Amino acid sequence: MGVFTHESQETSVIPPARLFKAFILDSDNLIQKVLPQAIKSTEIIEGNGGPGTIKKITFGEASKFKYAKHRIDALDPENCTYTFSVIEGDALTDMESLSTEIKCVASPDGGSIMKSTTKYQPKGDFQLKEEHIQAAIEKATGLFKAVEAYLVAHPDLYKPPMLSYSKCSIDNSNRIITRHMGTSAIPPARLFKAFILDGDNLIPKVVPQAVKSVERIEGNGGPGTIRKITFGEGSKYKYGKHRIDVMDPEHYTCCFSVIEGDGLSDNIENISTETKIVASPDGGSIVKRTSKYQTKGDFQLTEEHFQGGKERATMIFKGIETYLVAHPDLYN
């Protein structure tokens, strides 16, 4: 008999990197925790978790099989791809070989599409029936849904690390430029919609200690719009007026200038900030924030001046991200 190939896919609200980390990289621990009736235990017999590793899976009471040994053939966390072969066990009674490739890709809504391709090589004249394939699909779907439900219920687990850096420089106009970068598991379109387009409403709701209220004084939200931000009790400033200079939802870019407020002291002429959100390889976002300070005379800005703004921006950003993870159906 020849090789039978079966392809299937599942969709999830969880971004690829986080789903792959839980469902593949930590599956030996997580799956038996969330679905012990399907998998009782997983033991590494040989290897360190990479290609060539051999694992023994002992199935739970809900399975008609007792155990299987898997060999990892390929593991590519960067591209969220995993391939394994079943090399021993009662699932191979009528099979010469059985191998599966799993690949997680980003979906347009910021979640994932998990694609699975399984190849069956039957022994002799054994006829592989649809019921055999369907049973395997149902088991895999059960595992997938259990892991997804666990991730939705525990939004802080298995998240990609939050990376950040700050740089400071001086340009040809003697302006001081600070650059900050952070990463998020939320895809660009969704993050921009919440963080920028609906920030006037959402930010005071999720981080009132940073921003108490935002009032639109002039304009419709596009370039030229002027907003009054009243800061919360956690800020050393009382208020600021911002003018939107650029609003580009297509390229996830927003620029604004501070035109009034106690953030503009006698020593600072103006402050402008650009926020740009770009896609990261794991399906999330990279948030780039560039601020330019024009000082008066010989006044020297110190790290203390930047730190307050940086801490407030980080607080707001993390508050929005946490809110979006906890409410996966919003801002899609």
- Alpha-carbon distance 27 to 84, whole Å? 13
- Protein fold of 4-153: Alpha-D-Glucose-1,6-Bisphosphate; Chain A, domain 4 (3.30.530)
Compute how many other C-beta atoms are within 10 angstroms of the C-beta atom of residue 20. Answer: 28
Q: What is the pLDDT of residue 163?
A: 44
CATH superfamily of the 164-326 domain: START domain (3.30.530.20)
CA-based radius of gyration for the chain = 26
Amino acid residing at 136: A
Q: Are strands 81-89 and 95-106 parallel, antiparallel or unpaired?
A: antiparallel
130-153 and 27-34 helices, crossing angle to 10°: 90
The most confident of the ranges 3-7, 54-58, 120-124 is 54-58
Q: What is the DSSP string of 255-304?
A: EEEEEEETTS-TTEEEEEEEEEEEE-TTSSEEEEEEEEEEE-TT----HH
pLDDT digits (tens, 9 = 90+) for 243-298: 999 999 999 999 999 999 887 877 788 889 999 999 887 678 888 888 888 877 77
pLDDT digits (tens, 9 = 90+) for 166-206: 555 555 555 677 777 788 888 999 999 999 999 999 999 98
Residues 6 or more apart whose Cβ sits within 8 Å of residue 54? 44, 45, 46, 47, 69, 70, 71, 72, 87
Q: What is the three-class DSSP state of 75?
A: strand
pLDDT digits (tens, 9 = 90+) for 104-114: 988 887 789 99
Amino acid residing at 100: T
Fold matches, 4-153 and 164-326: yes
Q: Domain limits of the chain? A: 4-153, 164-326
